[in-house]
Amino acid sequence: DAMVIQNPRYQVTQFGKPVTLSCSQTLNHNVMYWYQQKSSQAPKLLFHYYDKDFNNEADTPDNFQSRRPNTSFCFLDIRSPGRGDAAMYLCATSREGTDNSPLHFGNGTRLTVT
């Protein structure tokens, strides 16, 4: 059974048109993460929530925002997508924010920007 669910699996948006990617979890984990993964590269952390506390990575562009309305859901908003934002976006969870809590990834949303 899928425990970290990302919708949609594939998303196409136009250059400059805002887009929202969704993630939900059935694990009741405290921490939710968003990673960006470009082709043949490692996942790169954009930001994470510990419960309701938002933590942004220093090099995450301002174009990327996130919302976590409750424990189960987390959203990634890209305000004005550029072609450089085309990538796989991975959501992950962990019970706690320590290395005693392995990451559980969803299967990602592949974003195309036309």
Partner 1 sequence: GENVEQHPSTLSVQEGDSAVIKCTYSDSASNYFPWYKQELGKGPQLIIDIRSNVGEKKDQRIAVTLNKTAKHFSLHITETQPEDSAVYFCAAPRAAGNKLTFGGGTRVLVKP
Q: In the complex, which residues of this chain contact partner 1 (CB under 8 A)?
A: 4, 31, 40-45, 48, 90, 92, 94, 96-99, 101-108
Cα distance between residue 67 and residue 52, in whole Å:
9
| Distance from C-alpha of 38 to C-alpha of 54, rounded to nearest angstrom | 23
Whether the Cβ atoms of residue 81 and residue 65 lie closer than 8 Å to each other: no
The least CB distance from residue 112 to partner 1, in Å, is: 15
From the CB of 61, what's the least distance to partner 1, in Å? Answer: 18
* Smallest separation (angstroms) from partner 1 to the CB of 70: 21
Other beta carbons within 10 Å of 44: 15
41 versus 80: smaller Cβ distance to partner 1: 41
Q: Which is nearer to partner 1, 13 or 37 (CB)?
A: 37
